[in-house]
Structure 1
Amino acid sequence: MSGNGKRVMVAGGAVLAMTLMAGCLSSGTPSGGGGGAGGTGSFVDGGSADNDKKVTMLGTFGGDEEKNFLASLAPFEQSSGIKIQYVADRDFATTIKQKVNSGDAPDIGLFAQPGGLMEFAADNKVQALDSILDVNSLNSSLVPGLLDSAKYNGKVYAAPMKLAGKSLVWYPKKAYTAGGYSTAPATMTELQGVADKIKGSGTAPWCMGWESAQDTGWVGTDWIEQYVLGMFGPEVYDQWTSHKIPFNDPRIIQAFDEFAKIAKGDGYVLGGPKGVLSTPFGEAMLPAFDNPPRCFLERQGNFVTSFLPKNVQANLPEEVGVFAFPKFDNGFDGTAMVGAADMAALFNGNDPDAQAVMKFLASPDFGKEWAKAGGWLSPHKTFDTSLYGDETTKQVADIVSKAGVFRFDGSDLMPKAVGSGTFWSELIKWENGQSSKETADNIEASWPKS
C-alpha cells in the first residue's frame, strides 16, 4: 500500500535558467503527428489544443499538497507564458481511465501507481518519453532503479516528480542515544545486535502496528518487500512482483522466515503478535516517547512523522532520529529502498507547451518551493537538499538520494486480488501463527490465472 499521503516566486533570470536546463533534457524536436507512442518521431495526439499556451493536468494532490504543487509551478508559468490548469481528483485511477478512453485526456496525468499507466502504454494512448527527453541523462540524475517502473517494452512512459521512501528506521533520539545504541547500523547483523541489547534491558526493541481497518496487513507487506529486495536484489524482486517466479518461491518463503524473527520473535515487538495486529499503524511509535520508552525502533515511511505526538512534531530534529534500513549480509550491496513515487505522463505528445511542462517536471529544478514548505522529496540525487525546510527532511532526503536501488511498493505492483487482498489477509494469519510456507502457498493459489 502506498502510504504517502501528507505541498515565492523566483527572479526572472533564475527561472529562465531553470527553463533552459529543462530544455537540455530534450533529445530532439518532434516531427509528424498522430500515430502511436511506439518510437522516436511517433506522437500521441490527445489532450487539449496544441500551441494554445495552456496545459491541462490531472492528479491527486489536494489541500496543502495542491497549494504547494501550484506554488512550484508558478515560476515556470511566469517565465514560459504557459498557463497550467490543474484539476485534483481523489479517484484519479478511475477518472483518468474514463477520460483517456473517451478521448478527453488531460495533456499530462500524475500517476501515483505505475499499473494503470502501463495499460495505456500497451494501448499506445500515452507518449513514450524517449522522443521528448534525454532518458539516459534523466536516469543518471534519479535514484537508481526509479525509472524502471515507468518502462514498457523498453521505453519510458513517465517521469517521477515526487518521491516517498519507506526503508527508514525511526527512533526516539534522546532515550536512544542515552542508551548508547548505534545510530547507523550498517548491516542487519548490527541492527540485530542493537535489538538484542535493547531487549536485554527489558524493553521491546521494535514498535509495530498493522491495524488499519479493512486495510489491516499492509504494514506487514512493506516489511516482506523490504526483505525480498534487500536479501535477493532487484532482479528477484521484479520477478516476484510480476509473477515471473511464483509467490511461494523458496526465496520468498525465506524472506518470511527471516522477518518472523522480529515480527513473531519472543520479546522483539511490543505486545507480541496480538499487539502487532491490534495496534493502529499510526499509533505504533507513540510508546517510544513514553518515559521510559516501551519500544524504540519503527520501520516506516517518511510520512510517519505526521503521526507522532504534537510536541515531538514541533521539534523533530531534537526528538526523532532516523537511519536507512540496513543491508543484509550476502544480500544486495547497498541501501535497498522500497517506496512510492508520483509520476508525470504525457498524453499530448504533439503539443510543444505540454512537452515544455513535462521537461520542467522531469528536471531537478522542479519542487524547490514544495521542498521549503515540506511534505515532498525530490526523486533526483542532484536536488539541492539545503532547500528542504527542516533537518529531519534533509536527513531523509540524503538517505533516499544515496539508495543503491529503488523499487515501488510491491503490493501496488501486484494484481489487486493479491496486492491488497490475499497478501494482506494471509499475513494476518501468518502473524497469528500460520507458517511461512502455507502463507506463501495460499497467496500463490490466489494469483489470477490471466
Structure 2
Amino acid sequence: MNITMSARLRHRLLVAPALLGLALAAACSNSSSGGGNSASSVPTLPAACAKYQPYAGHAGTKVTMFASILSPESDSLEKSWAEFSSCTGIKISYEGSNDFESQLPVRVSGGNLPDLAIIPQPGLLAQMVKTGKVVKPPAQTVANEDQWSPIWKTYGSVNGTFYAAPMSANMKSLVWYSPKAFQQAGYAVPKTWADLMSLSDKIAKAGTNGSKPWCGGIGSGTATGWPATDWLEEVVLGSQGGDVYDQWVSHKVKFSDPAIINSMQTVANWMQNPAWVNGGIGDVKSIATTTFQDAGAPILTGKCWMLQQASFYEAQWPQGTKVAPDGDVYAFELPPTTASIPRPVEGGGEFVTAFSSRPEVQAVQNYLSTADWATSRVKVAPGWVSANRGVDKSLYTDPIDKLSADALTDPTATFRFDASDMMPAAVGSGKEWTAFTAWFAEGEPIKQVASEIDAAWPQ
C-alpha cells in the first residue's frame, strides 16, 4: 500500500506559512482555477512571487487538507508549498492521521469534509466518488494531466471519469539493507529469489550476535496489515506475472485460487519463518504489533539484515544516516520469484481529491498538479518520486530516488499498481488488512485467511 504506504508515515501537523499581507493576493484566474475573480480584481504579486501570479486573488483564505502522511514525510510536504502559501496568502491547513483510511469515510458521511484529501488507494477513491461528494478537478488540473503517463490518469479515474490528479509515485519492490554490514560479512546482493532465500538461510545459521536475516512490522493504526499485503503482491507479480495479477485485482482470480494460495505459502516460508524473523524485535507474532516505521531500526544495530519496504521508507531513517551504495543503509530490487518475469515492479501513489469547488481550493489543486510543485517537493524530500513527467530527472540527487525513478519509468518492466489499493475498499483497505494481521498475529491457516477475504468481496 502508499500506504502509501503511505498508511504510511504519520502524525498531525498544521501548515501555517506567514502571509505577505493583503497586498499579496492569492488564487487563480478563470483559466487556472476554474473560477474566481475578474482580471481587474487580481492584484499583481511582487517580483519574488511572480511565478505564483496565476494563483493570485485569494489572500486570507484557508484550504483544509486531510491525508495519511505523517512526520517526517509531512515535514517536506509543508516545505514544498510554503512559498506558494506565503506568496498567494492561501493558508493550507494540513492534518495527517494514522486512521485516515477509516476516518475519511466517516467524515464524508458525517458532513465534516476536508477541502482536499490525499488518497493513496484508487479503491478508496471509488468509494468516495460513490458518495457524490467528490468534486471533479478544474480545467487547468485536467490540462496538466498531459504531464503524467497515461496509466496514472486511469488510477485517478472512476468508471472512465477523471477525478483525482496523481501527486506522487513510489517504488515498493525494494529490500533495505546495510552495505557496510554486507561488506564486512562478505555477503553479495542477491540477484535471484533463490539467491535471496539462500542468503537468508546463511545469515540465520550464522546467527551473528543473535541477529536474524529479516525484520518487519505491519502496524499502522487502523491501516495495520498493509505491509503484509505488499509482500503477497510482490510474490504474485514476481511469480505469476501481470495478467494473473490483473485478474486477481478484479477477483476473476480469487484469493482461494491455487496461484494465490501458493504465493501466500511463499510469503509464509519467507516472513513467517521463526528462524528468519523478527530480528532485534521479537518472534513472528511481533511483526503484527511492530509499526512499519520502526521495523527497520534493527538494521542499524546489527540485529537485522534486511527489510522489504518501499522507497518512501527512506524518510524513517534517523537524521545523519548515510543512504548510499556504500552507506549505512541502501536498497536493492526484490528479485522476481520466477526468473521469467521481466523486472517486476510494484508501485504505489497518492491522488489529490477535492470535496469543494471554492476558487482557493481549485488554486491549490492546480498548483499541486504542476511540474513546478513536484519539482519543489523533489528538492526537499529525499525518498519522494513524482509521477509528473515534467520534472527534470537530474534533480533526483538521492540514490534511492534515482533507482526508483529508473524502475518506475522502465518500459520493459512488469509494472503494476499496488493490488490492495486497486481492490474495492471493503477488501483492499478493509478485510485483507485485518485478515493478514490475524494471519501474522494468530497464525490463522492460509486457506482460512483466503476464504475470509473472498467472502468480503462486494457482490
1:57-72 aligned at under 5 Å gives the runs 57-60=64-67, 68-72=76-80
CA displacement at 1:164 relative to structure 2: 4.1
CA displacement at 1:407 relative to structure 2: 1.6
CA displacement at 1:223 relative to structure 2: 1.0
Please point out which of 117, 121, 124 is paired with 1:109: 117
Q: Is residue 188 of structure 1 aligned with residue 193 of structure 2?
A: yes
- CA change 1:265–1:101 in 2 (3 A) is closer
What residue in structure 1 maps to residue 46 of structure 2? none
CA displacement at 1:253 relative to structure 2: 0.5
Within 1, Cα distance between the matches of 2:206 and 2:110? 63
One-letter amino acid of the structure 1 residue matched with residue 164 of structure 2: A
What residue in structure 2 maps to residue 363 of structure 1? 370
What residue in structure 2 maps to residue 225 of structure 1? 233
CA displacement at 1:275 relative to structure 2: 1.8
What residue in structure 1 maps to residue 345 of structure 2? 336
- Greater shift in the superposed pair: 265-274 or 222-231: 265-274
Unaligned regions of 5+ residues in structure 1, if any? 10-18, 31-49
Q: CA RMSD in A?
A: 4.5
TM-score by length of 2: 0.69
Please point out which of 404, 425, 447 is paired with 1:437: 447
Please point out which of 87, 93, 100 is paired with 1:86: 93
- Residue identity over aligned pairs, in percent, reads 26
1:285-434 aligned at under 5 Å gives the runs 285-290=296-301, 293-305=302-314, 310=318, 313-317=320-324, 318-329=327-338, 332-339=341-348, 341-348=349-356, 354-374=361-381, 377-380=384-387, 382=389, 383-387=391-395, 390-400=398-408, 402=410, 404-408=414-418, 410=420, 413=423, 414-415=425-426, 417-429=430-442, 432=443
Unaligned regions of 5+ residues in structure 2, if any? 19-27, 36-54
CA displacement at 1:332 relative to structure 2: 4.2
| Mapped contact 1:385–1:398 kept (Cα < 8 A) | no
| Mapped contact 1:146–1:406 kept (Cα < 8 A) | no
Within 1, Cα distance between the matches of 2:109 and 2:56? 23
Q: Is residue 4 of structure 1 aligned with residue 11 of structure 2?
A: no
One-letter amino acid of the structure 2 residue matched with residue 320 of structure 1: V
Query: SS in structure 2 opposite 1:245?
Result: coil
- CA change 1:305–1:275 in 2 (3 A) is farther
Within 2, Cα distance between the matches of 1:376 and 1:259? 26
Q: Is residue 156 of structure 1 aligned with residue 162 of structure 2?
A: yes
Within 2, Cα distance between the matches of 1:401 and 1:440? 33
- CA change 1:372–1:244 in 2 (3 A) is same
Within 2, Cα distance between the matches of 1:99 and 1:267? 44
Within 2, Cα distance between the matches of 1:123 and 1:240? 26
Within 2, Cα distance between the matches of 1:66 and 1:273? 27
| Mapped contact 1:187–1:326 kept (Cα < 8 A) | yes
Question: Which whole-Å deviations, capped at 9, do the CAs of 1:185-211 have from their partners, x for residues lacking one?
Answer: 444244345445545656676312347
CA displacement at 1:172 relative to structure 2: 1.2
Within 2, Cα distance between the matches of 1:249 and 1:108? 39
1:196-235 aligned at under 5 Å gives the runs 198=203, 206-210=213-217, 212=219, 217-235=225-243
Name which structure has the greater RCO, CA cutoff 8 Å, separation 6+: 1
Query: SS in structure 2 opposite 1:316?
Result: coil
- CA change 1:344–1:55 in 2 (3 A) is farther
Q: Is residue 247 of structure 1 aligned with residue 251 of structure 2?
A: no
TM-score by length of 1: 0.70
CA displacement at 1:277 relative to structure 2: 1.8
One-letter amino acid of the structure 1 residue matched with residue 435 of structure 2: T
Within 1, Cα distance between the matches of 2:220 and 2:166? 30
Query: SS in structure 2 opposite 1:365?
Result: helix
Query: SS in structure 2 opposite 1:333?
Result: coil
- CA change 1:214–1:94 in 2 (3 A) is closer
Query: SS in structure 2 opposite 1:231?
Result: helix
Question: Which whole-Å deviations, capped at 9, do the CAs of 1:381-401 have from their partners, x for residues lacking one?
Answer: 643455457545554555555
Query: SS in structure 1 opposite 2:343?
Result: coil
Within 2, Cα distance between the matches of 1:84 and 1:424? 39
Query: SS in structure 2 opposite 1:328?
Result: coil
| Mapped contact 1:324–1:399 kept (Cα < 8 A) | no
| Mapped contact 1:248–1:440 kept (Cα < 8 A) | yes
Within 1, Cα distance between the matches of 2:280 and 2:94? 45
| Mapped contact 1:151–1:157 kept (Cα < 8 A) | yes
What residue in structure 2 maps to residue 259 of structure 1? 267
One-letter amino acid of the structure 2 residue matched with residue 162 of structure 1: S
1:130-169 aligned at under 5 Å gives the runs 133-134=142-143, 137-140=146-149, 145-169=151-175
Please point out which of 56, 64, 68 is paired with 2:63: 56
| Mapped contact 2:249–2:419 kept (Cα < 8 A) | no
Within 1, Cα distance between the matches of 2:438 and 2:106? 30
Query: SS in structure 2 opposite 1:345?
Result: strand
Please point out which of 116, 130, 134 is paired with 1:126: 134
One-letter amino acid of the structure 2 residue matched with residue 371 of structure 1: V
| Mapped contact 1:288–1:294 kept (Cα < 8 A) | yes
- CA change 1:100–1:385 in 2 (3 A) is same
1:25-44 aligned at under 5 Å gives the runs none
Within 1, Cα distance between the matches of 2:205 and 2:102? 51
Aligned length: 402
What residue in structure 1 maps to residue 182 of structure 2? 176
Query: SS in structure 2 opposite 1:322?
Result: strand
